[in-house]
Amino acid sequence: MDKAGMFSALADLILPVECGGCGVAGTRWCRRCRSRMSDAPVELSPRVDVGVATWALGRYRAPYATSVLAMKEHRRRDLAEPLGAALAGALRTLAAWSELPDVDRLHLIPAPTRALSARRRGGDTVTAFAAAAATELGAGVRVTPLLHTVGSVRDSMGLDARHRASNMSGAIVCRSLPAGLRRPDAGTDGFVLIDDVLTTGATAAESVRVLGAQGLRVHSVVVIAGA
Ligand SMILES: [Zn+2]
Protein backbone atom coordinates (compact mmCIF):
# COMPACT_ATOMS: atom_id res chain seq x y z
CA MET A 1 0.00 0.00 0.00
CA ASP A 2 1.43 3.42 -0.92
CA LYS A 3 1.40 6.42 1.38
CA ALA A 4 -1.77 7.95 -0.09
CA GLY A 5 -3.58 4.62 0.11
CA MET A 6 -2.54 4.16 3.72
CA PHE A 7 -3.67 7.67 4.60
CA SER A 8 -7.04 7.08 2.96
CA ALA A 9 -7.46 3.75 4.79
CA LEU A 10 -6.63 5.46 8.09
CA ALA A 11 -9.10 8.27 7.35
CA ASP A 12 -11.77 5.64 6.69
CA LEU A 13 -11.12 4.17 10.14
CA ILE A 14 -11.54 7.55 11.79
CA LEU A 15 -14.44 8.78 9.61
CA PRO A 16 -16.23 5.78 8.14
CA VAL A 17 -17.28 6.53 4.56
CA GLU A 18 -20.97 6.15 3.97
CA CYS A 19 -23.44 7.24 1.30
CA GLY A 20 -25.06 10.58 2.18
CA GLY A 21 -28.37 9.35 0.77
CA CYS A 22 -28.89 5.81 2.09
CA GLY A 23 -26.00 5.19 4.50
CA VAL A 24 -24.50 2.26 2.59
CA ALA A 25 -20.84 1.84 3.57
CA GLY A 26 -17.83 2.34 1.35
CA THR A 27 -18.96 5.26 -0.82
CA ARG A 28 -19.88 8.87 -0.19
CA TRP A 29 -22.68 8.85 -2.78
CA CYS A 30 -23.84 5.52 -4.16
CA ARG A 31 -24.97 4.76 -7.71
CA ARG A 32 -28.47 3.90 -6.56
CA CYS A 33 -28.96 7.30 -4.87
CA ARG A 34 -27.43 9.05 -7.86
CA SER A 35 -29.93 7.32 -10.11
CA ARG A 36 -32.92 8.01 -7.77
CA MET A 37 -31.98 11.70 -7.69
CA SER A 38 -32.25 11.90 -11.47
CA ASP A 39 -35.92 10.84 -11.47
CA ALA A 40 -38.30 13.43 -12.95
CA PRO A 41 -39.19 16.28 -10.54
CA VAL A 42 -42.55 16.08 -8.74
CA GLU A 43 -44.98 18.98 -8.45
CA LEU A 44 -45.95 19.90 -4.88
CA SER A 45 -49.21 21.33 -3.52
CA PRO A 46 -48.07 23.18 -0.39
CA ARG A 47 -50.63 24.12 2.28
CA VAL A 48 -49.57 27.79 2.06
CA ASP A 49 -50.23 29.13 -1.44
CA VAL A 50 -46.79 29.96 -2.88
CA GLY A 51 -48.24 31.68 -5.94
CA VAL A 52 -46.01 29.88 -8.47
CA ALA A 53 -45.38 26.26 -9.45
CA THR A 54 -43.45 24.41 -6.79
CA TRP A 55 -41.30 21.37 -7.57
CA ALA A 56 -39.19 18.89 -5.64
CA LEU A 57 -36.56 16.46 -6.84
CA GLY A 58 -38.47 13.97 -4.68
CA ARG A 59 -40.65 13.50 -1.61
CA TYR A 60 -39.42 13.88 1.95
CA ARG A 61 -37.66 10.51 2.25
CA ALA A 62 -34.37 8.88 1.26
CA PRO A 63 -32.29 9.86 -0.58
CA TYR A 64 -33.77 13.38 -0.87
CA ALA A 65 -34.40 14.24 2.78
CA THR A 66 -31.49 12.18 4.09
CA SER A 67 -28.90 13.88 1.86
CA VAL A 68 -30.20 17.34 2.87
CA LEU A 69 -29.98 16.36 6.55
CA ALA A 70 -26.51 14.87 6.09
CA MET A 71 -25.33 18.11 4.53
CA LYS A 72 -26.98 20.35 7.12
CA GLU A 73 -26.55 18.43 10.33
CA HIS A 74 -23.49 16.26 9.65
CA ARG A 75 -21.46 18.77 7.67
CA ARG A 76 -21.33 16.61 4.57
CA ARG A 77 -20.23 19.52 2.37
CA ASP A 78 -19.09 17.01 -0.26
CA LEU A 79 -22.80 16.41 -1.03
CA ALA A 80 -23.07 19.89 -2.61
CA GLU A 81 -21.72 18.44 -5.86
CA PRO A 82 -24.14 15.49 -6.28
CA LEU A 83 -27.11 17.55 -5.02
CA GLY A 84 -26.13 20.36 -7.40
CA ALA A 85 -25.85 17.93 -10.31
CA ALA A 86 -29.30 16.52 -9.49
CA LEU A 87 -30.77 20.03 -9.22
CA ALA A 88 -29.23 20.93 -12.59
CA GLY A 89 -30.89 17.85 -14.11
CA ALA A 90 -34.27 18.83 -12.64
CA LEU A 91 -33.95 22.39 -13.99
CA ARG A 92 -33.15 21.02 -17.47
CA THR A 93 -36.21 18.76 -17.27
CA LEU A 94 -38.46 21.64 -16.16
CA ALA A 95 -37.17 23.79 -19.04
CA ALA A 96 -37.86 20.92 -21.46
CA TRP A 97 -41.41 20.76 -20.04
CA SER A 98 -41.71 24.56 -20.66
CA GLU A 99 -42.10 25.08 -16.91
CA LEU A 100 -39.04 27.36 -16.94
CA PRO A 101 -37.63 29.86 -19.43
CA ASP A 102 -34.38 29.10 -21.24
CA VAL A 103 -32.08 27.13 -18.94
CA ASP A 104 -29.14 29.22 -20.28
CA ARG A 105 -30.50 32.36 -18.64
CA LEU A 106 -31.42 31.41 -15.11
CA HIS A 107 -30.90 33.13 -11.81
CA LEU A 108 -30.97 30.71 -8.91
CA ILE A 109 -32.03 32.58 -5.79
CA PRO A 110 -31.29 30.68 -2.57
CA ALA A 111 -34.05 30.81 0.03
CA PRO A 112 -32.91 32.82 3.06
CA THR A 113 -31.06 31.05 5.86
CA ARG A 114 -30.66 32.43 9.34
CA ALA A 115 -27.05 33.60 9.67
CA LEU A 116 -26.63 31.79 12.97
CA SER A 117 -27.87 28.47 11.59
CA ALA A 118 -25.60 28.86 8.57
CA ARG A 119 -22.56 29.55 10.75
CA ARG A 120 -23.30 26.53 12.88
CA ARG A 121 -23.43 24.42 9.71
CA GLY A 122 -20.16 25.81 8.37
CA GLY A 123 -21.85 27.80 5.60
CA ASP A 124 -25.12 28.14 3.74
CA THR A 125 -25.84 24.70 2.32
CA VAL A 126 -28.53 25.88 -0.15
CA THR A 127 -26.15 28.38 -1.73
CA ALA A 128 -23.49 25.65 -1.90
CA PHE A 129 -25.59 23.18 -3.91
CA ALA A 130 -27.15 25.96 -6.02
CA ALA A 131 -23.61 27.05 -6.96
CA ALA A 132 -22.76 23.47 -7.91
CA ALA A 133 -25.89 23.35 -10.11
CA ALA A 134 -24.94 26.65 -11.77
CA THR A 135 -21.45 25.30 -12.54
CA GLU A 136 -23.02 22.21 -14.07
CA LEU A 137 -25.47 24.23 -16.20
CA GLY A 138 -22.91 26.67 -17.62
CA ALA A 139 -21.96 30.30 -17.93
CA GLY A 140 -25.45 31.79 -18.34
CA VAL A 141 -26.68 30.51 -14.98
CA ARG A 142 -25.99 32.55 -11.87
CA VAL A 143 -26.56 32.13 -8.17
CA THR A 144 -28.01 35.41 -6.97
CA PRO A 145 -28.34 35.55 -3.19
CA LEU A 146 -30.89 38.34 -2.64
CA LEU A 147 -32.82 37.26 0.42
CA HIS A 148 -32.00 37.28 4.08
CA THR A 149 -33.96 37.05 7.28
CA VAL A 150 -34.33 39.88 9.77
CA GLY A 151 -35.38 40.07 13.38
CA SER A 152 -36.05 37.00 15.41
CA VAL A 153 -37.69 34.39 13.26
CA ARG A 154 -38.60 31.62 15.62
CA ASP A 155 -37.67 28.14 14.57
CA SER A 156 -40.72 27.08 12.58
CA MET A 157 -40.60 23.53 13.92
CA GLY A 158 -43.83 22.76 15.76
CA LEU A 159 -45.82 25.66 14.26
CA ASP A 160 -48.81 24.87 12.06
CA ALA A 161 -49.19 26.26 8.53
CA ARG A 162 -51.08 29.41 9.55
CA HIS A 163 -48.64 30.27 12.32
CA ARG A 164 -45.67 29.55 10.09
CA ALA A 165 -47.02 32.05 7.55
CA SER A 166 -47.48 34.76 10.18
CA ASN A 167 -44.08 33.89 11.70
CA MET A 168 -42.56 34.64 8.28
CA SER A 169 -44.47 37.83 7.51
CA GLY A 170 -41.95 40.70 7.39
CA ALA A 171 -39.15 38.32 8.36
CA ILE A 172 -37.59 38.11 4.90
CA VAL A 173 -36.09 41.09 3.09
CA CYS A 174 -34.57 41.52 -0.35
CA ARG A 175 -31.20 43.19 -0.88
CA SER A 176 -31.16 45.96 -3.48
CA LEU A 177 -31.08 44.42 -6.94
CA PRO A 178 -27.67 44.11 -8.62
CA ALA A 179 -27.20 46.31 -11.73
CA GLY A 180 -27.46 43.29 -14.08
CA LEU A 181 -31.03 42.65 -12.96
CA ARG A 182 -32.03 46.22 -13.72
CA ARG A 183 -31.07 45.87 -17.41
CA PRO A 184 -34.04 46.05 -19.77
CA ASP A 185 -33.31 42.52 -21.09
CA ALA A 186 -33.42 41.05 -17.60
CA GLY A 187 -37.10 40.61 -18.38
CA THR A 188 -36.30 37.47 -20.41
CA ASP A 189 -34.26 35.88 -17.62
CA GLY A 190 -35.73 33.12 -15.49
CA PHE A 191 -35.78 33.36 -11.71
CA VAL A 192 -35.98 30.22 -9.63
CA LEU A 193 -36.17 30.16 -5.86
CA ILE A 194 -34.06 27.28 -4.54
CA ASP A 195 -34.42 25.64 -1.14
CA ASP A 196 -33.47 22.35 0.46
CA VAL A 197 -36.82 21.33 1.96
CA LEU A 198 -40.38 22.56 1.51
CA THR A 199 -42.86 21.74 4.25
CA THR A 200 -45.81 24.15 4.54
CA GLY A 201 -44.56 26.54 1.84
CA ALA A 202 -44.53 29.55 4.19
CA THR A 203 -40.87 30.48 3.57
CA ALA A 204 -41.23 30.03 -0.20
CA ALA A 205 -44.46 32.05 -0.31
CA GLU A 206 -42.95 34.96 1.61
CA SER A 207 -39.75 34.83 -0.49
CA VAL A 208 -41.73 34.93 -3.75
CA ARG A 209 -43.85 37.79 -2.40
CA VAL A 210 -40.82 39.84 -1.30
CA LEU A 211 -39.05 39.34 -4.66
CA GLY A 212 -42.26 40.26 -6.50
CA ALA A 213 -42.40 43.52 -4.55
CA GLN A 214 -38.93 44.29 -6.03
CA GLY A 215 -40.24 43.60 -9.53
CA LEU A 216 -38.72 40.13 -9.84
CA ARG A 217 -41.19 37.57 -11.05
CA VAL A 218 -40.18 34.16 -9.74
CA HIS A 219 -41.08 31.47 -12.28
CA SER A 220 -40.84 28.43 -10.03
CA VAL A 221 -39.70 27.16 -6.68
CA VAL A 222 -37.47 24.09 -6.81
CA VAL A 223 -36.42 22.18 -3.69
CA ILE A 224 -34.58 18.93 -3.04
CA ALA A 225 -37.19 17.31 -0.77
CA GLY A 226 -40.90 18.18 -0.63
CA ALA A 227 -43.25 17.19 2.17
ZN1 LIG B 1 -26.98 5.70 -1.37
Could you tell me the distance, in angstroms and rounded to a whole number, from the CA of residue 52 to the centre of ligand 1?
32
What dotted CATH number matches 38-226?
A: 3.40.50
Highest mean pLDDT among 115-119, 163-167, 188-192: 188-192
The closest of 91, 87, 115 to 105, measured between CA atoms, is 91
Is the model's pLDDT at 6 over the cut of 90?
A: no
- Domain residue spans of the chain: 38-226
pLDDT of residue 103: 84
Q: Name the percent of the chain lying above pLDDT 70.
A: 83
d(CA 198, CA 208): 14
Sort strands 53-59 and 172-174 into parallel, antiparallel or unpaired.
unpaired
The dihedral built from the CA positions of residue 209, 215, 216 and 219, taken in this order, carries a sign that is: positive
DSSP string, 103-153: TTSEEEEEPP--HHHHHHTTS-HHHHHHHHHHHHH-TT-EE---EEE-S-P
d(CA 194, CA 134): 12
Could you tell me the distance, in angstroms and rounded to a whole number, from the CA of residue 40 to the centre of ligand 1?
18
Is 165 exposed, middle or buried, given 0-12, 13-18 or 19+ CB atoms closer than 10 A? buried
The string of pLDDT tens digits covering residues 66-117 is 999 999 988 899 999 999 999 999 999 999 999 998 888 899 999 998 777 7
Could you tell me the distance, in angstroms and rounded to a whole number, from the CA of residue 27 to the centre of ligand 1?
8
Could you tell me the distance, in angstroms and rounded to a whole number, from the CA of residue 15 to the centre of ligand 1?
17
Could you tell me the distance, in angstroms and rounded to a whole number, from the CA of residue 58 to the centre of ligand 1?
15
158 vs 110, residue with greater confidence: 110
The string of pLDDT tens digits covering residues 33-60 is 999 999 999 999 999 999 999 999 999 9
As a 3-state breakdown, the chain gives helix, strand, coil percent values, each rounded to 5, of 40, 20, 40
